[in-house]
Amino acid sequence: MTPSPESDPRRRYPEASRRTHFARERTLLAWWRTGVAVGAVALAIGGLLPKVSNVPRVRFEALGIGYGVLALVFVIGGSVRDRASQRAIAANSFAELPVWVVAGLTVYLSILIALSVIAFF
């Protein structure tokens, strides 16, 4: 009896091509690039903004730390995600991004954005 495509990962996910590996590398670089951009936002909000304007320093330093943590999540999380993708590609499988990661990042980023808007008033 021939296994169904759903039960046999080799049939469901054919062997990865070079394009697949390059796409994985581009995705890792996108995670890192996002982390670097968010790190720049953290420096601007937490370090530069309080020095060039008359805003409460503590409020913006706290926001800068929040964005700094998010930057680390993107850099470290991207590396962890890349490793999971490497293992999945080697096994002719797929590593789905867990829903809790997407939900957690969505909530965290939404809170940071809301606090950033509120901090200016």
Say if CB 70 and CB 76 are below 8 A apart. no
**Residue 78 resides in a domain:** yes
**Residue 52 resides in a domain:** yes
Q: Is the pTM of this model over 0.75?
A: yes
Q: What angle do CA 51, 56, 58 make, to 5 degrees?
A: 90
Q: What domain range includes position 35?
A: 15-119
**Residue 4 resides in a domain:** no
8-58: per-residue pLDDT in tens?
555 565 677 888 888 999 999 999 999 999 999 999 999 999 888 887 889
